[in-house]
Structure 1
């Protein structure tokens, strides 16, 4: 929970574009976004959705590339079963589009509009 909250605050307060690029350029944010958390805990869910929304507010034509994972061959598997392309920021958030909490639904809608606005 503390990591989600800290990352969200950090991302919201980034002003220098180079810092945004540096933070987003490695795949660590995608790994955090793709982690499985206990979403039955409303506190965890709130911080998670807030983090996703904070990331989406920093998206532009350049930063979006850091969250899109191109498909290709899977290491150690046959070329017949390639890894599909993915966009974890969007695919993980869209899971909550029909959540019972209006704050969560609103955050997902905001993220969706930010992604489509690029």
Structure 2
């Protein structure tokens, strides 16, 4: 398992960003650009690189929830609240929805500390 984690972290480090980011009008590049981005997201998920995943997709609730739980486990109430507020805003703006019940539960546990 350590080898798998090392391999996924290496793959994540090698990702240099979107394919041809300065040429957004190159229609032919859109599909490979999206495929590479999706692969990068899967690599970040597999490696548990939640901060980097949120940098790519601030509305990724699984990543935010993992960071919130880690902060809660460490007794860092303020970080849980910050992560929750960022996620709630991203979900509202990007998707027009609110956080899932499991995410709200972590937030409420932090408030009770």
Q: Same fold (TM over 0.5)?
A: no
Q: Name the TM-score, length of structure 2 as normaliser.
A: 0.38
- Larger radius of gyration, structure 1 or 2? 2
Say which structure, 1 or 2, has more relative contact order (CA 8 Å, 6+ apart).
1
Q: Name the TM-score, length of structure 1 as normaliser.
A: 0.37
